[in-house]
Amino acid sequence: MDPIDLTGKVALITGASRGIGAAAAWSLAEAGASVVLTARSAPEIEALAAELRAAGYAALAVPCDVSDYAAVEAAVKATTATFGRLDILLNNAGLIDPIARLVDSDPAGWTRVIDVNVNGVYHGIRAAAPAMVDGGIVINISSGAATGNLEGWTHYCASKAAVLSLTRGADLELKGRGIRVVGLSPGTVATQMQREIKASGINPVSKLEWEDHIPPEWVGKCVVWLCGDAGEEHAGGDVSLRADAVRDALGLPRQ
C-alpha cells in the first residue's frame, strides 16, 4: 500500500481509549492527522493523548459519552476550536455486553447498547457533518453481525444492522456536500470485547481462541486506507477486512 498522507487533516475518534479506537488514533497520527480522542474514560484518553504528543503528534482528549448528543456536539466544537477544522470522523464506540438470549435479556442493558451503538453513530454524523466545511470522511465501524445473526447477540446484530442502514442513508444524503460515508467490518479483533464474548460462552464466536482474532492495528491501517482514494469506491458500502482483495491492498496476510 502506498503511504497515505493526511497532513493537515483532523480526525475525531469515538471509543478511543483502547482497542480499535486507540490503534486507529496511532495509525491516523502516523499518517499525519491531528487526532481528537473521545471516550467516557477521561484518564485513559488523556494518557493516550499524552503518549501521542510525546511521540511528536498533535492530540487532544475530550471526555464524551456518545449516547449524549450534547456531549458529542461539544466534542466537535472542541475539535474545531483547537485545530480549526474537522475532516475525518471514526464512529468506533460500541458495546456488546450484556450478552444474553432475548428471554433472559435486561431491557435496560438492551437500551444502553442501542443508545451507544446506534444513537452514538447518528450523534456523531449529525454533529460532525455541519463542521466538515471542505468535505470529509465518516467511517462507521460495522460488523458481519449486521447481516448475520448469532444466538445471544440479537441486540448487537440489530444495532449493527441499523448502523449499516445509517451508513447507506448518510452517504446518500451527504455526498452532495463532498462527504463520503463508509462502513468497515473488521471481523473478530483482539480487544476487550472479545474477552466479554469469550466469557459469555454463547454461540461459536465465544469458542474462538485469542490467537484467532486479528490485531487492532490491522483495523487502524484499514481506517487510514479508507481515508485515501481507495475509500471513494466503497462510499455508501461496507468494507470487510476479511476480504482477500482488501487484505491484499493493505499488504496484510490473507485468512
Q: How far apart are CA 232 and CA 67, in angstroms?
A: 29
What is the DSSP code (8-state) at residue 133?
Answer: B
Q: How far apart are CA 58 and CA 77, in angstroms?
A: 17
Give the number of other Cβ atoms within 10 Å of residue 95's Cβ: 20
The phi and psi torsions of 221 (rounded to 5 degrees) equal: -65, -40
Q: Give the side-chain half-sphere CA count within 13 A for 252.
A: 22
Q: Smallest Cα–Cα separation from 143: which of 123, 172, 113?
A: 113
Q: Smallest Cα–Cα separation from 234: which of 100, 148, 140?
A: 140
Amino acid present at 215: P
Active-site residue, from 57, 69, 122, 156: 156
Q: Smallest Cα–Cα separation from 127: which of 72, 177, 71?
A: 72
Report the run of H or E that residue 185 belongs to, with start and end.
strand 179-185
Q: How far apart are CA 48 and CA 37, in angstroms?
A: 8
> Catalytic site residue 156?
yes
* Cell numbers for 237: 458500502
User: Are the beta carbons of 220 and 23 closer than 8 angstroms?
Assistant: yes
Report the run of H or E that residue 52 belongs to, with start and end.
helix 42-54
Catalytic residues: 156
